[in-house]
Amino acid sequence: MPTESSQYAAAGVDLGAARRAKELLKGYARATFGPQVLGDIGHFGGLYALTGYQDPVLVSSADGVGTKLKVAIALGRYDTVGQDIVNHCVNDILVLGARPLFFLDYVGAGKLDPLVVAEVVKGAAAACKEVGCALIGGETAEMPGLYSPGDFDLVGFIVGVVERRAIIDGSAIHRGDLLLGLPSSGLHTNGYSLVRRLFDLDSQPATRWDHYYKELSQTLGEALLAVHRCYLPSIGPVLPLVKGLAHITGGGLPGNLPRILPEGLGARIELGSWKVPPLFRLVQEKGDIPDDEMFQVFNMGIGMVLVCSPDLAPEVERALPEAARIGRIVSRRREPRVTFTRN
């Protein structure tokens, strides 16, 4: 009967820790299963039966949480980043009109802590359950020497589905269409490397993470760990009224809006049409960062942009009262394709 290799353990790989982590997370994953999931956690692959669609198109995406993990590690709170990675991936396929089917996660570390892995997966499972998505499997990897002590990486993979006739790819966008912005819940998962440097969070974390800012009504650590918002519950009912969607992640409004615009069109954003949350102002003042760079690095309070025709905008706004009219589509063949004006 084979036994765990003591030499492998001496090399830094604890097979027992990996097994304990997998046992802890099984219950969280199973709680997300519906009748479409065939089999159980632990197979070499996950099985999912796709039913109920006439002409289905599968939509996939993969992403990571980035250095927001440093915040979670410093504060010893891990469930929020599990929610982050699911919500980010759900939003990415939502812009094509897709709804999530199943999700897989990857956790890599120099040394696996089963309780940390379980907390991460617990958060991911909660986010999956919220949107009817099955957490169908994943991978945990212990790789001593590749990650620094205490660090880990988190990556998510999602598959969703949309009827071919309902794909939202931006091809129907025309000049004069309106841009409606939905609020973000904070930095989401972008810009953390800059914030950590500005506030010197890595060298003196104990006091700086816990510093209370009156303008934020919470500590800096709490504000930075705010969960990346999932837009499916809000936007799902109005998808048939929308011509285009842009998830505002790395690159901000200037980097993400052009990804959905047909050739010859641009977006004109009206500054002052929404209130920039105080966290972004605090970061800008701390680093004396110009507006241009702020809008390229951060979402600046707008996490998702909807494009719709002027005649349908009132109906969309009734369904989404928090939406702000932040601009419109204009003719634009030269760079930059996203321009900013002030009211």
Residues 265 and 124 in one domain: no
In a domain, 194, yes or no: yes
Residues 147 and 260 in one domain: no
Which residue(s) pair with 157 in the sheet? 62, 104
In a domain, 54, yes or no: yes
Compute the average pLDDT of residues 97-119: 94
Where residue 262 sits, what CATH number does that domain have? 3.90.650.10
Domain that holds residue 221: 178-342
Residues 162 and 211 in one domain: no
pLDDT tens readout for residues 264-287: 999 999 999 999 999 999 999 999
pLDDT band at residue 330 using 50, 70 and 90 as cut-offs: very high
Residues 81 and 221 in one domain: no
Last residue in a domain, options 166, 191, 225: 166
In a domain, 173, yes or no: no
Residues 159 and 236 in one domain: no
Residue with tokens 């589905």: 161
What per-residue confidence (pLDDT) applies to 204? 65
**Closest to 64 in 3D by CA, of 184, 188, 179, 211:** 188
pLDDT band at residue 81 using 50, 70 and 90 as cut-offs: very high
What per-residue confidence (pLDDT) applies to 203? 77
Compute the average pLDDT of residues 77-87: 96
Where residue 65 sits, what CATH number does that domain have? 3.30.1330.10
DSSP string, 36-93: TEES-TTSSS-EE---S-SSEEEEEEEEE-TTHHHHHHHHT--HHHHHHHHHHHHHHH
Lowest mean pLDDT among 122-136, 201-215, 241-255: 201-215
Residues 336 and 226 in one domain: yes
In a domain, 1, yes or no: no
57/164 Cα distance (integer angstroms): 6
Residues 182 and 138 in one domain: no
In a domain, 158, yes or no: yes
Last residue in a domain, options 108, 140, 166: 166
Residues 15 and 80 in one domain: yes
Residues 150 and 127 in one domain: yes
Compute the average pLDDT of residues 147-174: 96
pLDDT at 1 over 60: no
Compute the average pLDDT of residues 71-91: 95
Residues 191 and 321 in one domain: yes
Compute the average pLDDT of residues 288-317: 97
pLDDT band at residue 40 using 50, 70 and 90 as cut-offs: confident
Q: Across all residues in the chain, what is the average pLDDT?
A: 92
pLDDT at 103 over 90: yes
Last residue in a domain, options 102, 134, 166: 166
Residues 234 and 157 in one domain: no
What per-residue confidence (pLDDT) applies to 21? 67
In a domain, 126, yes or no: yes
Greater confidence (343 vs 214) lies with 214
pLDDT at 13 over 70: no
How many structural domains is the chain composed of?
Answer: 2
- Check if the beta carbon of residue 258 is closer than 8 Å to that of residue 170: no
pLDDT band at residue 128 using 50, 70 and 90 as cut-offs: very high
Q: What is the largest CA-CA distance in the chain?
A: 75
**DSSP code, position 170:** S
Q: How many CA atoms lie within 13 A of 193 on its CB side?
A: 5
In a domain, 123, yes or no: yes
Compute the average pLDDT of residues 177-196: 96
Greater confidence (313 vs 208) lies with 313
pLDDT tens readout for residues 230-266: 999 999 999 999 999 999 999 999 999 999 999 999 9
Residues 222 and 155 in one domain: no
In a domain, 172, yes or no: no
